Chains A and B, each alone.
Chain A
Amino acid sequence: EIVMTQSPATLSVSPGERAALSCRASQSVSSDLAWYQQKPGQAPRLLIYGASTRATGIPARFSGSGSGTEFTLTISSLQSEDFAVYYCQQYNNWPPWTFGQGTKVEIK
C-alpha cells in the first residue's frame, strides 16, 4: 500500500496570502495524484488531477505541481471560501487508492 503523507497538518494563513500544501508518497505514483477540498458538512470537491490539471470550474489561483513522490498544492491568494481541509489522493496503485490525512487551512 502506498502511504500518502501531507504536511503541515494545519496551516494558518491570512486572507490574500499564498498557501503551499505538501503531499509525499511512500513510492512513486508518477503524476497520478489528485487534490480535493472539503468544507464542513460538505462532500469533497475535486480541485486538481494528474498532479497539475485544474478540474472544471476551479479558479486559477489553485495550482498543483510535482511528480513521482513529491507534490504541492498552491493557493496563490487565499479567499475566504478557501478555508477548508485539503486531501491528496494517489490513483496509481489499485487497490487500494490512498488519501493523505489532510491539511486544514485556517484563518490566521
Chain B
Amino acid sequence: EVQLVESGGGVVRPGGSLRLSCAASGFTFDDYGMSWVRQAPGKGLEWVAGISWNGGTTGYADSVKGRFTISRDNAKKSLYLQMNSLRAEDTALYHCARILGYCSSTRCSGYLDLWGRGTPVTVSS
C-alpha cells in the first residue's frame, strides 16, 4: 500500500527539541521530493519545509527557518524534521507529504499528491 506514516510527536516545553519521522512505503521513495506541512488546532494548512529527492535542495518557511531542519535517508525510506527552540506557536499536527513535480539546485516546484495522517506536537510549559 502506498502510504506515509509520521511518528515522533509529543509534548515538549518551550525551548525544547523534537525530531519527527515519516516512513514511506509502497513507492520508490528516492524518486520524489518531500515536504512537511502543519496545521495548528482549528486552523488552516501551513507549509513548513521541503526537500528534493537527494537532499540537495531544501527550503523553509520564514517562521521555522534557523530552528527546523528537514532531512531524509533514502536507504531507510524516511523523512525527518528536527525541531529546535520550539515555541508555543509551533503546536500543530505535522503532516509529511510527497511532492509531485521537480526540484532544481535552487528550488522545488510541485504539488502534494500523497499525505500522511500526521503526528501531533504540543509545545507547552
Contact = CB atoms under 8 A, between A and B. Distances in A.
Contact of A92 (B46, B47, B62, B109): B109
Contacts of A67: none
Interface stretch (B8-16, B18-26, B72-80, B110-118): B110-118
A89 B59 CA distance: 16
A96 B47 CA distance: 7
A55 B59 contact: no
Nearest to B61: A96
A28 B59 CA distance: 21
B45 interface: yes
What's the interface size class on B, roughly?
20 to 34
B110 A91 contact: yes
B37 to A, nearest CB: 8
B107 interface: yes
B41 interface: no
B108 interface: yes
B107 A94 contact: yes
B120 interface: no
Interface of B: 35, 37, 44-47, 49-50, 59-62, 95, 100-101, 107-118
